Amino acid sequence: MVEKVLVTGGAGYIGSHCVVELIEAGFEPVVVDNFSNAVREGDRDMPESINRIEKLMDTNIEFHELDLLDRPGLEKLFKKHSFSAVMHFAGLKAVGESVEQPLRYYRVNLTASLNLLEVMQAHNVHNLVFSSSATVYGDPQHLPIDEEHPVGGCTNPYGKTKFFIEEMIKDHCKAEKDWNAVLLRYFNPIGAHSSGLIGEDPQGIPNNLLPYVAQVAIGRRKCLSVFGNDYDTVDGTGVRDYIHVVDLAKGHIAALKRLKDNCGCKVYNLGTGMGYSVLQMVKAMEKASGKEIVYKIAPRRSGDIASCYADPRLAEKELGWKAQFDLERMCEDLWRWQSMNPTGFSNGTLPLK
């Protein structure tokens, strides 16, 4: 019998790519999303990302418009289905916005996760893959960052919500011995599916570097603001570990399989182990797109750090997972998505050739 996996936030950037990998791995994803960062496809009232995955994979995907703050709606869903596991992506995720709106981030991210955990417990669903973040490490005390690096010294409310949710899950797994959870600490996902059909389509002004760079290259934005050029890095701009979103999605499938070992609560970094600066990324995207990317130096953003890159060896050792795609491929796939979909999913169902 095919295993059903609930995917919260499954219409978003990372969630949608994981839906593809779940289908390829033989699972049946059931997707919920509240459209906070997804485009609605009019005829069927579906997220455009899920609509396109159905065409790409030649399948039907069960979708429910649901906010995890809606506890009765969540209960109803769990009564309808017998899930073998949950992949939890849903949540607000912009660092800068979290600094400006901390209470909103705490209310949405923590309450949604608490609702999910309680409903899972009530319906005997005890397997969870959680979408965490390298922001839980705060300002790095050493590089590269391994899973033993201290956590909790987060520099922004978004990171704190991820840390608090991790702690909730860890405590629950200690109390309930039949629970298994894998907490995946992402570094910086970029790129897109090689088909060009799905990718990152931020609603409004992009909060992340690469979508903004791509929108400058395609002409949707005039100029990139580089926040700070006085960090202690190779060129003064912030250094991050960028990982292809498909590599990241495959890491979730490896985590799902790890749950079957009754692993208890495990934590893994998903990154490449390589750090690239903002200006290095700009140059890489210029090469991929053949376009000049205009930028200006702006003041540092509150909550940002100088450098952050992973030690991903534990995931390779215990999950059998390792990032496969290099920087050139990440930028090529991102540019393919952006050039085929110059205005994102609002193009509708037929990307430009």
pLDDT of residue 102: 98
Give the percent of the chain with pLDDT over 70.
98
Mean pLDDT, to the nearest integer, of 111-119?
98
DSSP string, 255-291: HHHHHTT---EEEEEES-S--EEHHHHHHHHHHHH--
- Asked if residue 349 is part of any domain, the answer here is no
Number of structural domains the chain divides into: 1
- Asked if residue 196 is part of any domain, the answer here is yes
Closest to 73 in 3D by CA, of 41, 115, 11: 115
- Asked if residue 348 is part of any domain, the answer here is no
Q: Which range of residues forms the domain containing residue 136?
A: 4-340
- Asked if residue 327 is part of any domain, the answer here is yes
Catalytic residue list contains 212: no
Say whether pLDDT at 349 is over 60. Answer: no
- Asked if residue 347 is part of any domain, the answer here is no
Mean pLDDT, to the nearest integer, of 244-260?
98
Q: What is the CATH number of the domain that holds 95?
A: 3.40.50.720
Say whether pLDDT at 81 is over 90. Answer: yes
- Asked if residue 219 is part of any domain, the answer here is yes
List the structure tokens of 176. 């309930």
Give residue for tokens 């990302």.
49
Name the pTM for this structure: 0.96
Say whether pLDDT at 290 is over 80. Answer: yes
DSSP string, 3-61: PEEEEETTTSHHHHHHHHHHHHTT-EEEEEE-STT-PEETTTTEEHHHHHHHHHHTS--
Mean pLDDT, to the nearest integer, of 134-140?
93
Task: Quote the CA–CA distance of 176 and 178 in Å, as a whole number.
Answer: 6
List the structure tokens of 163. 């840390």
Instruction: Measure the CA angle with vertex 218, ends 213 and 222; round to 5°.
Output: 65
276-277, strands of its sheet edge to edge: 276-277, 239-240, 307-308
For residue 226, give the 3-state DSSP assignment: strand
Given pLDDT bands bounded at 50, 70 and 90, which one contains residue 44?
Answer: confident
- Asked if residue 350 is part of any domain, the answer here is no
The 10s digit of each residue's pLDDT in 212-249 is 999 999 999 999 999 999 999 999 999 999 999 999 99
Backbone angles phi, psi at 331, to 5 degrees: -70, -35
Active-site residue among 105, 158, 231, 276?
Answer: 158
- Asked if residue 352 is part of any domain, the answer here is no
Mean pLDDT, to the nearest integer, of 296-317?
93
Mean pLDDT, to the nearest integer, of 317-336?
98
Give the percent of the chain with pLDDT over 90.
91
